[in-house]
């Protein structure tokens, strides 16, 4: 358990569906899978089988680099229930491939006081039950 | 008529006791509010031929929405031409917008709208404010938040608010003014939950919930119910209160309807509904006498001040600096009953009730001077947003 991700409470999880299964299980192979249009290359998130740009139905999961940028973050201090260790960081991460793919995540493996909007981050995965939860950690110079 | 809302009036308001420990059932509180609203309009139970509410009975123990239309209709034995709850709509005011449509379609003349909360009592027996259960599985729209210990509306709002602070440069002591002014107004409202004024030091000494949200930026869960009667204008003329019409509504959805992918988290969904509202009236922000702006979090009110055009985008900080502009005797009094932050989380319907109180001159010690005639109202929260103008005609 790293320093920033010390919320000992178990993570709540989504229900797996035919649409979101690739996203939540790609981490088993250390891959972040995002739906992408096979006609015009637009990424479609949340995953679904329609491209809003070219109207193609040929949309499916493809691996992305796993790099992104912190768009916004909050340091959660509130102990919402016993056993939840605080503080911890929740963030919106925008993926490097396309700026309208915004993932909620926790920023881990760093000093939470050093987290900044605009920081470059990279994905890592933590298994919880049948899901591999994408988490992000800062890369490169923190200054 | 080009804009049907102008043909609809609010004719009566009612509210139960608002408390942190009701001791009465949610349905009983709802009846208190509803019977008061019907009598306030000068109507009889038999005059009510429509019912509308947001969001309908949640059928859970959260206290978020413990009473729906079926239970209330049956308790009152109402005979209706039209009724509907709505949840996937322009926030809490969707119930009002639907009722306008139903009245305009001649399906009904007097629509009863209510909003009941039972979260203060519910919290004593279940996990506070839970969008989903810790360690459990979450449904839409919480599925994308669930694995990240983002348990409450505060978690989402903190993410949006943080981006707003980053882009606007608003200072914490400016943000604080929303909470300070609300409490100052609440000190003049005997029905408010918290009435002891707070200082800047109190604001900064209180715990941070999730940065940049501090305790006093978050509203207060309560037990209570609010009811209003919406009437067709020609029928409203026979009722008891001064004719108070809905001048314009903003009900649009111009963005991605998503709690994670919404187009601009810093402004949420308010700009689109505000643009629609101002496009349906000859009035302008300068005509507004009192603004009852949703304050589930102080950030919502800040968003509304900008989106509704009371100040330019990202300049709310300067607008509310020092608090005098938004105080009861300022150029734009806001949340005059103390808002959800201090009077309690009546979930946008506290604002509707209070707008009528002010337009009808019933504010007593908190009455805005100068005989206010135009009120602006908003709701906000992620992709949820709605707004309208209320105008007293006489
Ligand atoms: Zn395409």
pLDDT in tens, B55-70: 999 988 889 999 999 9
Q: Supply the pLDDT for residue B249.
A: 98
When the pLDDT of each residue in chain B is averaged and rounded to a whole number, the result is 96
pLDDT in tens, B250-265: 999 999 999 999 999 9
Q: Supply the pLDDT for residue A83.
A: 87
Q: Supply the pLDDT for residue A2.
A: 45
Q: Supply the pLDDT for residue B130.
A: 61
Tell me if B138 and A7 make a contact (CB, 8 A cut-off): no
CB B67 within 8 A of CB B51: no
Total H helices, total E strands in chain B: 13, 12
Average pLDDT over residues B113-119: 97
Tell me if B162 and A80 make a contact (CB, 8 A cut-off): no
Counting residues of chain B whose pLDDT is more than 90, the rounded percentage is 92
Residue A143: how many other CB atoms lie within 10 Å: 5
Say if residue A3's pLDDT is above 60: no
Say if residue B172's pLDDT is above 50: yes
Mark out chain A residues that contact chain B at CB-CB < 8 A: 7, 9-15, 20, 45-46, 71-78, 80-81, 84, 88, 90-92, 100-106, 117, 128, 131, 133
B207 touching chain A per CB within 8 A: yes
Which one of B127, B148, B159 has the shortest CB-CB distance to A106? B148
Tell me if A77 and B207 make a contact (CB, 8 A cut-off): yes
| SS3 call for A14 | strand
B106 touching chain A per CB within 8 A: no
pLDDT band of A19, cuts 50, 70, 90? very high
For residue B380, the surrounding DSSP H or E stretch is strand B374-381
Q: Supply the pLDDT for residue A141.
A: 60
- A61 Cα: distance to centroid of ligand 1 (angstroms): 13
Chain A contact set for B258 (CB, 8 A):
46
Tell me if A11 and B135 make a contact (CB, 8 A cut-off): yes
pLDDT band of A65, cuts 50, 70, 90? very high
ipTM value, please give it: 0.95
Domain boundaries, chain A: 21-142
- DSSP characters over B292-318: EE--SBHHHHHHHHHHTTSS-TT-HHH
Tell me if B210 and A77 make a contact (CB, 8 A cut-off): yes
User: Which residues 279-308 in chain B show a CB within 8 A of chain A?
Assistant: none
From the CA of A134, how many Å to the nearest CA of chain B?
9
Q: Supply the pLDDT for residue B294.
A: 98
Average pLDDT over residues B206-230: 98
- A38 Cα: distance to centroid of ligand 1 (angstroms): 7
From the CA of A39, how many Å to the nearest CA of chain B?
22
Say if residue B142's pLDDT is above 90: no
| SS3 call for B225 | strand
Q: Supply the pLDDT for residue B133.
A: 74
**The CATH classification of domain A21-142, taken from the options 2.40.10.10, 2.40.50.840, 1.10.1060.10, 3.30.460.80:** 2.40.50.840
Average pLDDT over residues A48-77: 98
CB B346 within 8 A of CB B353: yes
Q: Supply the pLDDT for residue B250.
A: 98
User: Which residues 164-193 in chain B show a CB within 8 A of chain A?
Assistant: 166
Q: Which of B218, B214, B219 is nearest to B204 (CA)?
A: B214
Tell me if B150 and A10 make a contact (CB, 8 A cut-off): no
- A37 Cα: distance to centroid of ligand 1 (angstroms): 5
- DSSP characters over A71-132: EEEEEE----STT----EEEEEEEETT-TT-EEEEEB-SS-GGG--TT-EEEEEEEEETTEE
Residues in CB range of B282: below 8 A, 6 or more apart: none
Say if residue B310's pLDDT is above 80: yes
Average pLDDT over residues B283-290: 98
pLDDT in tens, A105-125: 999 999 999 999 999 999 999
Q: Supply the pLDDT for residue A111.
A: 95
Query: Which residues does residue A14 pair with via DSSP β-bridges, in sequence order?
Result: B138
Say if residue B146's pLDDT is above 80: yes
Tell me if A133 and B147 make a contact (CB, 8 A cut-off): yes
Q: Supply the pLDDT for residue B140.
A: 84
Neighbours of ion ligand 1 (CB under 5 A): A 37, 39-40, 42, 51, 53-54, 56
Answer with the residue of higher pLDDT: A20 or A3. A20
Tell me if B260 and A92 make a contact (CB, 8 A cut-off): yes
Chain A contact set for B132 (CB, 8 A):
12
Tell me if A13 and B211 make a contact (CB, 8 A cut-off): no
pLDDT in tens, B322-375: 999 999 999 999 999 999 999 999 999 999 999 999 999 999 999 999 999 999
> What is residue B134's DSSP assignment?
T
> Which domains does chain B show, CATH number per domain?
4-125+222-236 (3.40.47.10), 151-218+243-392 (3.40.47.10)
In chain B, the residue whose alpha carbon lies closest to the alpha carbon of A44 is B261
pLDDT band of B127, cuts 50, 70, 90? low
Counting residues of chain B whose pLDDT is more than 70, the rounded percentage is 98
């Amino acid at each position: 358990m790293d320093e920033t991700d010390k919320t000992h409470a178990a993570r709540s999880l989504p229900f797996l569906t035919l649409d979101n299964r690739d996203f939540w299980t790609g981490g088993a192979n250390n891959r972040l899978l995002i739906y992408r249009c096979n006609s015009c290359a637009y990424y479609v998130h949340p995953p679904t089988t329609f491209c809003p740009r070219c109207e193609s139905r040929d949309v499916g999961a493809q691996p992305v680099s796993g790099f992104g940028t912190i768009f916004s973050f909050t340091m959660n201090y509130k102990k919402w229930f016993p056993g939840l260790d605080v503080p911890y960081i929740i963030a919106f991460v925008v993926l490097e491939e396309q700026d309208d793919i915004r993932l909620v995540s926790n920023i881990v493996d760093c000093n939470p006081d050093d987290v900044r909007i605009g920081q470059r981050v990279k994905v890592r995965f933590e298994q919880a039950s049948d899901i591999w939860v994408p988490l992000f950690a800062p890369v490169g110079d923190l200054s | 008529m080009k804009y049907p809302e102008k043909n609809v009036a609010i004719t009566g308001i009612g509210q139960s006791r608002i408390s942190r420990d009701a001791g009465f059932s949610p349905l009983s509180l709802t009846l208190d509010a509803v019977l008061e609203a019907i009598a306030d309009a000068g109507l009889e139970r038999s005059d009510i031929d429509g019912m509308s509410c947001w969001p309908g009975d949640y059928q859970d123990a959260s206290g978020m929405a413990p009473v729906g239309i079926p239970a209330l209709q049956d308790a009152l034995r109402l005979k209706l031409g039209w009724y509907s709850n709505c949840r996937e709509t322009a926030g809490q005011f969707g119930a009002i917008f639907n009722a306008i449509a139903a009245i305009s379609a001649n399906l009904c003349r007097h629509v009863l709208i209510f909003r009941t909360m039972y979260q203060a009592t519910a919290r004593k027996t279940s996990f506070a404010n839970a969008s989903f259960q810790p360690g459990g599985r979450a449904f839409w729209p919480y599925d994308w938040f669930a694995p990240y210990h983002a348990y409450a509306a505060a978690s989402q709002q903190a993410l949006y608010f943080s981006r707003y602070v980053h882009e606007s440069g608003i200072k914490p002591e400016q943000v604080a003014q929303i909470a300070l002014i609300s409490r100052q107004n609440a000190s003049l409202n005997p029905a408010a939950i918290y009435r002891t004024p707070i200082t800047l030091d109190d604001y900064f000494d209180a715990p941070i919930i999730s940065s940049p949200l501090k305790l006093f930026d978050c509203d207060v869960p309560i037990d209570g119910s609010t009811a209003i009667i919406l009437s067709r204008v020609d029928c409203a003329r026979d009722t008891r209160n001064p004719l108070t019409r809905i001048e314009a509504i903003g009900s649009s959805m111009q963005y991605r309807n998503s709690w994670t992918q919404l187009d601009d988290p810093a402004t949420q969904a308010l700009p689109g509904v505000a643009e629609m509202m101002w496009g349906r009236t000859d009035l302008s922000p300068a005509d507004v006498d009192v603004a009852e702006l949703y304050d589930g979090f102080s950030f919502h009110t800040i968003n509304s001040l900008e989106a509704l055009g009371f100040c330019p985008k990202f300049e709310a900080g300067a607008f509310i600096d020092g608090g005098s502009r938004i105080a009861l005797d300022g150029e734009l009094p806001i949340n005059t009953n103390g808002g959800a932050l201090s009077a309690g989380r009546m979930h946008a319907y506290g604002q509707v009730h209070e707008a009528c109180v002010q337009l009808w001159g019933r504010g007593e010690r908190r009455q805005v001077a100068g005989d206010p005639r135009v009120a602006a109202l908003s709701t906000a929260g992620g992709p949820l947003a709605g707004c309208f103008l209320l105008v007293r005609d006489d």
